[in-house]
Structure 1
Amino acid sequence: MNPYFKKAFIELIGIEGGYVNDPTDRGGETKYGISKRSYPHLDIKNLTLQQAEEIYYRDFWKANGLDNIIKYELALELFDTGVNMGVGVAPRFLQEALNLMNRNQRDFPDLVVDGKIGPVSIAAYKKVDDRILLKVLNGLQFRRYVEICEKRPDQEKYFNGWMKRV
């Protein structure tokens, strides 16, 4: 298992916490951030930390190709975004961010925003400033949270908690 994943998992669990069954949470019954909505076959209330770790590694870390990310901070950002917003969102945000950062440069062509971190996305990622990339990713994440609150005002109660992730 990737050593970055272990460290990121520990940080994520610190954010996600334990068992919650908030009727206004779109994920429904949740433990360690694993939701009944996404995993209807699981007994969420009795989910173990080890089971959560296996799910996160398989369905979020590996599925998003995060073993290919060189810098821990970026891997953590993409992992956390994928967990909070959906597994396909994080790689799309990365590709959108890289396309934005390439607007007046031709170091790499615009990427197809397909939600898959493959060799072309990795090559483009290696050509940008990581600090700027993290800021662009956070901006995209912030914009998405605002859009959620605008569409569903009942979700505004989660906004301050979401901001801790940005």
Structure 2
Amino acid sequence: MNNFDLCIAPVLKSEGGTSNHPLDAGKLTRFGISQRSYPKLDIAALTVEQAKALYKRDFWDANHLDQLPLAVAFEFFDSAINCGAGTATRLLQRALGVAEDGIVGPITLAAVASITPDKLARRMLAHRIRFYTKLSNWPTFGAGWMNRLANNVLWESDHA
């Protein structure tokens, strides 16, 4: 089983089925795929296989996650889906202590290679918690985000 296949199952579990919360900027969302991000897509009719294909193309492959160790790739992937790829990149760079330019380039990749994957994944989680707690919709969605991150810690401990 490849790393994408390992990582997609817990992401889909976190994302759940269909939602349309009035305070969610994504609007109608199914399997974590939002109407805001994909305005021309029929979200209500989206299948799980279509969602997986979008995640593979637009989140996994677009961010070259096969170049990262499993725990780091998983944390980046989950963060990119929940916070956006730009935020995920900056959180990774913050965890590494490199310039936050929003590009996973040679400097970021060299820094990734210089730290153990489990340590980097934990640092990413810590920075993600700080990010979430500063959001205006923290009171509404904060508990769910923290449960998601707790599940990530458990998943990563089983896959380290």
The residue number in structure 2 matching 1:83 is 81
The residue number in structure 2 matching 1:128 is 115
The residue number in structure 2 matching 1:43 is 42
Paired letter, 2:103: K
The residue number in structure 1 matching 2:152 is none
Query: Are the aligned partners of 1:60 and 1:87 in contact in 2 as well (CA < 8 Å)?
Result: yes
The residue number in structure 2 matching 1:59 is 58
Given the alignment, which residue of 99, 112, 121 partners 2:99?
Answer: 112
Query: Are the aligned partners of 1:95 and 1:121 in contact in 2 as well (CA < 8 Å)?
Result: yes
Structure of larger gyration radius: 1
Aligned-residue offset at 1:142: 0.6
Aligned-residue offset at 1:122: 1.4
TM-score normalized by structure 2? 0.86
Q: Distance in 2 between matches of 1:165 and 1:18?
A: 15
Greater helix content? 2
State percent identity of aligned pairs. Answer: 39
Give structure 2 stretches of 5+ with no counterpart: 150-160
Query: Are the aligned partners of 1:59 and 1:87 in contact in 2 as well (CA < 8 Å)?
Result: no
Give structure 1 stretches of 5+ with no counterpart: 100-110
